[in-house]
Amino acid sequence: MRRSAVFWIWPSSTRITAWQLSRPSWRPREPSDNWVGRWSSFTPADLERSRHHVSGRLADCASRLATLAGNCRALGVTIAVASPLPHLIGGHPDEFKAILDSLDPSVKVCLDTGHTALGGHWRRFVEVSGARLEHLHAHDNQGYWDDHLPPGDGSIDWAHVRGTFENAGFSGWVMLALACPGSDPDGYSLRAAERTAELLGA
């Protein structure tokens, strides 16, 4: 595994999803507009499963992600589909698989440890991701909310997470996705990075 950076979750942050961004007309016009860098991850949607026709929305998500992937590919950018929270469309591994099956093999996967742990489907998400798995958003929770705690500060079984990664031959990037602390973000992120390296061997 390779460590990259810390992604802070601010209380007022706005998350951009493929649902919002990948309309057919969206395309960065100049290289300077390419704010996503060489890699970028997107959740399929922020739509609650109970309020939508799931199969129709899954098809819509796949279509939008395909458009987004094509636009980004033209700029040399690879996208990774991120695993959503379990109550959102795409947040069950069978739904996630349905989306991936509709996409070009060049589209990769970013697994979110907190989201998949809340749904209780970590191992199945790793299986569904297969060779597409390239990126990990690492954070912990207490099993009830998306707390974005440092790995080891919640209830996630990190030995299990590490074991499944090792069995899958994962050698991609690990990024910490942490709730912004009230003070000393440098010390907080350093401690989290050191603990993550200990837990995952990253």
- Strand partners of residue 10: none
Identify which has the larger pLDDT, 156 or 184: 156
pTM score, whole prediction: 0.81
Q: What is the mean pLDDT of residues 155-165?
A: 95
Instruction: Name beta bridge partners: 173.
Output: 2, 135
Residue 165 CA, distance from chain mean position: 15
Contact by Cβ (8 Å): 44, 99: yes
**pLDDT of 100 over the 80 cut:** yes
**Enclosing domain of residue 16:** 2-27+35-200
CA distance 133 to 19: 21
What pLDDT shows up at residue 71?
A: 87
Give the whole-number percent of the chain exceeding pLDDT 70. Answer: 81
Gap between the Cα atoms of 41 and 18, Å rounded: 9
CA distance 120 to 116: 6
pLDDT tens, position by position, 39-85: 788 888 788 888 888 898 899 889 989 998 998 888 888 889 999 99
Q: Kindly give the residue spans of alpha helices, DSSP state H, lying in 44-110.
A: 54-73, 93-101
Burial of 194 (0-12, 13-18, 19+ CB in 10 A): exposed
Q: How confident is the model at residue 32 (pLDDT cuts 50, 70, 90)?
A: very low
∠ CA 106-134-20 to the nearest 5 degrees?
A: 65
pLDDT at 3 over 80: no
Report the CATH number that the domain containing residue 52 is assigned in CATH: 3.20.20.150
Smallest CA-to-CA distance from 195 within 162, 160, 158, 152 is with 152
Q: Which of 25-39, 98-112, 152-166 comes out lowest in average pLDDT?
A: 25-39
Please list, residue by residue across 5-14, b when 16 or more beta carbons sit within 10 angstroms of its beta carbon and e when fewer do: ebebeeeeee
What is the spatial order of strands in the sheet that 2-9 belongs to?
Answer: 2-9, 173-179, 133-138, 108-112, 78-82, 39-42
Residue 84 near residue 124, CB atoms below 8 Å:
no
Each residue's pLDDT tens digit, 11-23: 433 344 443 444 4
Out of 58-62, 94-98, 198-202, give the one with best mean pLDDT: 94-98
Query: What are the backbone dihedrals phi and psi of residue 100, each rounded to the nearest 5 degrees, phi first?
Result: -60, -40
Q: Band the pLDDT of 164: cuts 50, 70, 90.
A: very high
Looking at the 3D structure of the chain, how many domains does it have? Answer: 1
